[in-house]
Structure 1
Amino acid sequence: MLMNENGFNSYQNNQLEAKAASASPTELIVMLIDGFNDNLIKAKGHMANKRIYEKGEAINRCMNIVIGLDSAIDLQNGGEAAQNLAQLYTYIQSKLLEASSQNSIEVLDEIELLMNNLKEGWQGIS
């Protein structure tokens, strides 16, 4: 069974790499937000089932995605929109830490709503 899972995971990774290679910058951001949301859902499940280590891993992956999105902002040329986006990412990072330390699914729900609104905005651009 492990070989089949590894083969499936390898296939998924190849598909994702192929999709990313042909994606526009906006599509890449949407893909990252999708990955964020997938990990956020996992974090909620782990939190609800008291799987602390796994919750931490999922929230850490979310944090890494937000840090990556934040680091791609062009603050010098992006104007007020870039500043607002950077502030939003900082807020999301602080809320991820809060959710993790308090084991709060409600805070994760708030983050999910913010990221879904952000995703809709990016989809509207493309």
Structure 2
Amino acid sequence: MISAQDASAYARVGLESGILAASPHQRITMLFDHYQASLRLARLHLQAGNIPAKGKAITRAVNIVSRGLRASLDLEQGGEIARQLDDLYDFVVRLLLRANLENNEEHLTAAAELLGNIASAWNAIGPQTED
């Protein structure tokens, strides 16, 4: 029988392998997907009154935005679009921090919608040819 800890380790290895094998476009798509999953989990924990787990899920979402999505921006070559995305990501992080502090489900919904729109646009452009 596999323990929950072993299953978690296997899942982590699978995720890391998937990330390493993914194209840059797929990596960003994965970040958006994991961001939305973290927010859904945070909302469920908030509704259940499990505040520590809610905080952990929001922290995961914040890290995805700040260490994943924001870190992937090239502000020099990306021009105005990259700067606007950077500002949006900063706003979303602040919104998530307020959601966590205030236990505010509306802030979680707003943060999900803001990046949901960006994720939809990202998916619509599809993978670009990479050299």
TM-score by length of 2: 0.87
Give the Cα separation in 2 of the matches to 1:122 and 1:32: 11
The number of residue pairs the alignment matches comes to: 125
Q: Which runs of 5+ in 2 are unaligned?
A: none
Match of 1:38, SS state, is helix
Give the Cα separation in 1 of the matches to 2:50 and 2:9: 26
Match of 1:9, SS state, is helix
| 1:124 lines up with 2:105 in the alignment | no
Larger mean CA deviation between 8-17 and 95-104 belongs to 8-17
Match of 1:71, SS state, is coil
Match of 1:75, SS state, is coil
Task: State the Cα deviation string for residues 85-114 of structure 1 (Å, max 9, x = none).
Answer: 001101101110111122111111111111
| Greater share of residues in helix | 1
Q: Which runs of 5+ in 1 are unaligned?
A: none
Report the AA paired with residue 92 of structure 2: I
Report the AA paired with residue 12 of structure 2: N
2:55 maps to what in 1?
56
Task: State the Cα deviation string for residues 47-72 of structure 1 (Å, max 9, x = none).
Answer: 11221111111111111111111122
Percent sequence identity over aligned pairs: 34
Q: Which has the higher contact order (CA 8 A, sep 6+)?
A: 1
Q: CA deviation at 1:36?
A: 1.0
The alignment yields a C-alpha RMSD, in angstroms, of: 1.5
- Give structure 1 regions of 4+ aligned residues with deviation exceeding 4 angstroms: none
Matches within 5 A, 1:20-35: 20-35=19-34
Match of 2:70, SS state, is helix
Give the Cα separation in 2 of the matches to 1:100 and 1:73: 25
